[in-house]
Amino acid sequence: METATPATTRRSNNSLERIGSLFGKIPGASMVIPLFLGAIVNTFFPHLLDVGNFTTALFRDGTGALLGLFFFCMGAQLDFRTTGVTLEKGFAILIGKVGIGVAVGLAVAFWIPGGMLFGLLPLAIIAAMTNSNSALYVALMKQFGNTSDRAAVSVISLNDGPFFTLIALGAAGLAAFPAEMLVGLLIPLALGFVLGNVSPKARAFLAPGETLLIPFLGFAVGRGIDFGTLGVAGMQGILLGLMTVVLSGGAAMFALWLVHVLRRRPKPARNLIAGAGEATTAGNAIATPAAIALVDPTYQSIQALATAQIAAATITTAILIPFIVVLVSRWQLKRNISPANEDTWNLHKSFPASTSPPVRDIDVSTHPA
């Protein structure tokens, strides 16, 4: 019998580390990889999880409980104590991104024959374009943004989850949400919000819950998808990702520019980098169709297709946005616009005698994707 030696153990560990590093480079890996695993089980081994007890409760029937716990943890991270500049910037970006996403989704639903745009469902359009990847946003703003850019995530994170999608579909008459179902959906978020703002310790305790639950949500959602659906939705999802980058990013940047103009900030202080960084789709948006279908069962027939379209959009935006942020940063610096200038103006309402931030070369390979 061959025994394990220190050398073979090291080789095995190195192989596992390389595999882990490879998975870590996949955009939205914590949601996308479990989603694909769930789709594999559903496509090839549909009865594998019917063994009962904890296995069935968690991996087959756990979508509702996992979503409720996820929204509770997410609500605890929403902080209403923010400064004026942060509120101003956060709401400008949020209104631009959510507004264009809802407008495009409802336009497709009401004005495009068949209620779809090149196969894209209004549910997928609204869910993908109104949501954003807060983790990627913060990472990019740490490198390219300023203090208010980074702090604006406390406002922008309001678009996490299915709530703007629920409001848009319900207000447009495209979905019927019984009052008690809607209240039941909002209670976990509201309880988390109250607890997180009353107790900073509770907020810190619940913070890892958002990240921890995402892989389990991904697998549970993937259990409703087969590879035939993924194949059909792939190109549609890429198109949705491009629409999110161009339209929602452009709308967020325009809203931010409009605020700068209304506030009469000089051109060097009209920093738009946060709007560009917001043009993503979050991994948690993949769970939105499932949440909508729980409230309105008529959406169950298109849940799988919408989920697959959003999954492809998540990957597309996560790959593209770091490069878009680099381009916007270079464009700004060439015009003497910078986050540092914005900070200086917000603090002092004036600039030093010479306001010429150096234009630095940026290595795209160092940015998170």
Burial of 21 (0-12, 13-18, 19+ CB in 10 A): exposed
Domain assignment present for 263: yes
Q: Give the pLDDT band of residue 254 (cuts 50, 70, 90).
A: very high
CA 216, 369, 126, 108 dihedral sign is negative
Name the CA dihedral angle for 113, 115, 118, 121, rounded to a multiple of 10 degrees.
180
Nearest CA among 14, 50, 35 for reference residue 303: 35
Q: Is the pLDDT score of 46 beyond 90?
A: no
Amino acid at 121: L
Domain assignment present for 140: yes
Domain assignment present for 24: no
Cα 130 from Cα 99, distance rounded (Å): 8
* Residue range(s) defining the domain that contains residue 139: 81-176+225-346
Comparing 147 with 296, the larger pLDDT belongs to: 296
Task: Give the side-chain half-sphere CA count within 13 A for 295.
Answer: 26
Least confident of 14-18, 139-143, 192-196, 363-367: 363-367
Q: pLDDT (tens digit, 9 = 90+) per residue, 192-238?
A: 888 988 888 988 898 888 778 777 877 776 676 666 666 667 788 88
Q: Give the pLDDT band of residue 165 (cuts 50, 70, 90).
A: confident
Residue 117 three-state SS: strand
Cα 347 from Cα 51, distance rounded (Å): 62
Domain assignment present for 170: yes
Q: What are phi and psi of 280, to 5 degrees?
A: -125, 170
* Cβ partners under 8 Å of residue 242, min gap 6: 316, 320
- Average pLDDT of 162-177? 76
Number of domains in the chain: 1
Domain assignment present for 217: no
Domain assignment present for 101: yes
Domain assignment present for 51: no
Name the CA dihedral angle for 317, 320, 322, 326, rounded to a multiple of 10 degrees.
-140
Q: Is the pLDDT score of 369 beyond 50?
A: no
Amino acid at 114: G
Q: Is the pLDDT score of 86 beyond 80?
A: no
Q: Give the pLDDT band of residue 50 (cuts 50, 70, 90).
A: confident
pLDDT of residue 228: 63
User: What's the count of helices (H) and strands (E) in the chain, helices before strands?
Assistant: 18, 0
Amino acid at 172: A
